[in-house]
Amino acid sequence: MEYTISKAICERWFEKLQDNLQTDVVIVGGGPSGLICAAELAANGIKTCLIEGKLAPGGGMWGGAMLFNTIVVQSEVLPILDRYGISYRQAEQGFYTVDAVEATSALIYRAAHEGAAIFSGISMEDVLHKDERVCGVVINWTPVAKLGMHVDPLSLCSTIVLDATGHPSEVVSVLTRKNPVQLNLPGNTMAYEGSMNAEAGEKACVEYTGEIYPGLYVSGMAACGVSGSNRMGPIFGGMLLSGVKAATLIRQSLAGGRQ
Ligand code: 48H
Question: For position 258, what pLDDT does the model report?
Answer: 59
Q: How far is CA 32 from the centre of its chain?
A: 7
For the CA of 123, the nearest atom of ligand 1: 37
CA distance 154 to 233: 35
> What is the distance between the alpha carbons of residues 122 and 144, in angstroms, rounded to a whole number?
9
- Residue 189: per-residue pLDDT: 87
Does the beta carbon of 229 sit less than 6 angstroms from any atom of ligand 1? Answer: no
Residue 247 CA to its chain's centroid (Å): 10
CA 25–ligand 1 middle distance (angstroms): 18
Q: What does the pLDDT read at residue 245? A: 98
Q: Is the CB of 227 under 6 A from ligand 1?
A: no
Question: What's the 112 CA to ligand 1 centre distance in angstroms?
Answer: 18
Q: What is the pLDDT of residue 135?
A: 98
Whether residue 165 has its Cβ less than 6 Å from ligand 1: yes
Q: Are 73 and 98 in contact (CB under 8 A)?
A: yes
Given 3.50.50.60, 3.30.300.30, 3.40.50.410, 3.40.190.290, which CATH number is that of 22-257? 3.50.50.60
Distance CA 213, CA 63 (A): 32
The amino acid sitting at 241 is L
Which 3 state secondary structure label does DSSP give 116? Answer: coil
Radius of gyration of the chain (CA): 18
Do strands 48-52 and 230-231 pair parallel, antiparallel, or not at all (unpaired)? unpaired
Please give the distance, rounded to the nearest whole angstrom, from the Cα atom of residue 123 to the centre of ligand 1. Answer: 12
Q: How far apart are CA 163 and CA 172, in angstroms?
A: 7
32 lines ligand 1 (CB under 6 A): yes
C-alpha of residue 78 to centroid of ligand 1, in Å: 22
Output the CA 5–ligand 1 centroid distance in Å.
33
Please give the number of the atom of ligand 1 that sits closest to the Cα of 236: 20
**Please, what are the averages of pLDDT over each run of 10 residues along the chain (259 residues)?**
98 97 98 98 98 98 96 97 98 96 98 98 98 98 96 98 98 97 90 94 97 98 96 97 98 84
Tell me the best of 50, 70, 167, 177 to mutate to test the pocket of ligand 1, counting ligand atoms within 8 Å of each CB and taking the most: 167
Rounded Cα gap, residues 25 and 38, in angstroms: 9
Which of 26, 239, 240, 241 is the best mutation target for the ligand 1 pocket, counting ligand atoms within 8 Å of the beta carbon and taking the most?
A: 239
Q: For ligand 1, atom 37, which residue shows the shortest CA distance? A: 123
Angle between the N-to-C axes of helices 198-207 and 237-258, in degrees from 0 to 180, rounded to the nearest 10: 10
Instruction: Work out the burial of residue 232: count CB atoms within 10 Å of its CB; fewer than 13 is exposed, 13-18 middle, 19 or more buried.
Output: buried
SS3 of 132, please?
A: coil
Over residues 212-246, the pLDDT tens digits come to: 999 999 999 999 999 999 999 999 999 999 999 99
CA of 61 to the centre of ligand 1 (A): 9
How far apart are the CA of 175 and the centre of ligand 1, in A?
Answer: 18
Please list the residues that pair with 74 across neighbouring strands.
Answer: 95
What pLDDT was estimated at residue 257? 74
DSSP alpha helix (H) spans, the chain: 2-19, 32-43, 78-83, 100-114, 142-146, 170-178, 198-207, 220-226, 237-258
CB 246 within 8 A of CB 254: no
